[in-house]
Amino acid sequence: MTPAQAGLVILGKVLLVAATLLCLSSIGGAMLFAFPVLVPLHWLAARSAPSIGRLGWAFLAGASLFEAGWMLTYIATERAAVSVAVGGLLGLAGAMVIARSRPSAPVLVAQTRTHSP
């Protein structure tokens, strides 16, 4: 990866963190619409991060899933305790999946030589 590409990756991760924090703090429920995009991006960012970074991405994804699950369940049931419990379970499960994510193994391609008779 060239330095320019590395800089773009870092900029993308910073923007992802900023967008996530903005959606989490919005009063209008922006996370309800943003989580289907943000959570997979957290997973992708976690795959290229060191161990401590994966925990940070897992926290952001878990918080996003908690908030979205909480809102969706409350809309469906109008029960606060149930919606918090469902949101908590979704957040915990999502955080665990992302925290355990690993970078994909590089594809090894064997080089072969052909000999003409």
pLDDT in tens, 37-57: 999 999 999 998 988 999 999
Report CA-CA distances (Å) from 79 to 70, 73, 85, 87, 104. Answer: 10, 8, 10, 12, 41
> What is the pLDDT, as a whole number, of residue 115?
61
Contact indicator for 24, 16 with CB cutoff of 8 Å: no
pTM: 0.85
Q: Which residue has the tokens 């960012």?
A: 45
Decide: 20 and 60 in contact? Cβ < 8 Å: yes
35 alpha carbon, distance to own chain's centre? 9
Q: Give the residue ranges of the chain where pLDDT is below 50.
A: none
- What residues have CB less than 8 Å from 79, skipping those under 6 apart? 73
Rounded Cα gap, residues 11 and 60, in angstroms: 17
